[in-house]
Structure formats: C-alpha cells, structure tokens
C-alpha cells in the first residue's frame, strides 16, 4: 500500500478531508465502489485493504481465510445488495405495503 495523506486520498476521491477521515474512523458507511476507488488509489486490492490492521487496533482476519480477488469481492457485494433488496421487498409484502399490480 502506498503512504498517502488523508488530503491526497480525499482529493483523488473528490471528497473533503473530513469525509475521508470519517471513512477511516468507521463513522461513515462505504460503498463498494468507494472501497474499490480507495484500494486503487493505494495500489492494493480490496481484500488486502480489508485485511490490513487498522490504526484503532483491530486485528486483521486470520490468514486461513481465503483471499478474494477484487472481482470476486465485487460479485459478492452485488449479491449482498440484491439479497438486501429482496429482504426489503419481502418485508414490505409481509407488512401489506407492497404495491398491488394494476389490473387491465
């Protein structure tokens, strides 16, 4: 990974230093696209970015877990988003708030 300042990374991402700082501190949720952009800027993979020890002392994921390629990570993230969408749709149907189909 490259050693860049928060200012450098924020500028590359097109966001404020404060917004990037919030990402680093876990105060903001990060989209897969944003995570991919950060990994690209740091010249590393998303997997390595997620597995690296962070500044607040959290331990990295043990090495026995398989490393994913960026493509695999993105595919899994897309599936997760689809699953979340389906879960919301099911919840909406269960609560009776689903849109009823129009009759012709």
The pLDDT of residue 20 is 92
Query: Is 48 within 8 Å of 1 (Cβ atoms)?
Result: yes
This prediction has a pTM of: 0.53
What gap in Å lies between CA 51 and CA 40, rounded to an integer? 15
pLDDT digits (tens, 9 = 90+) for 29-61: 888 888 889 988 988 888 777 776 554 445 554
């Amino acid at each position: 990974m490259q050693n860049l300042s928060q200012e450098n990374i924020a500028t590359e991402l097109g966001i404020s230093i404060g917004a990037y700082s919030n990402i680093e501190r876990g105060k903001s949720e990060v989209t897969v696209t944003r995570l991919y952009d950060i990994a690209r800027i740091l010249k590393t993979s998303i997997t390595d970015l997620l597995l690296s020890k962070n500044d607040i002392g959290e331990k990295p994921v043990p090495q026995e877990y398989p490393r994913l390629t960026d493509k695999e990570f993105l595919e899994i993230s897309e599936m997760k988003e689809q699953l979340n969408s389906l879960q919301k749709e099911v919840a909406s149907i269960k609560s009776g708030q689903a849109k009823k189909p129009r009759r012709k």
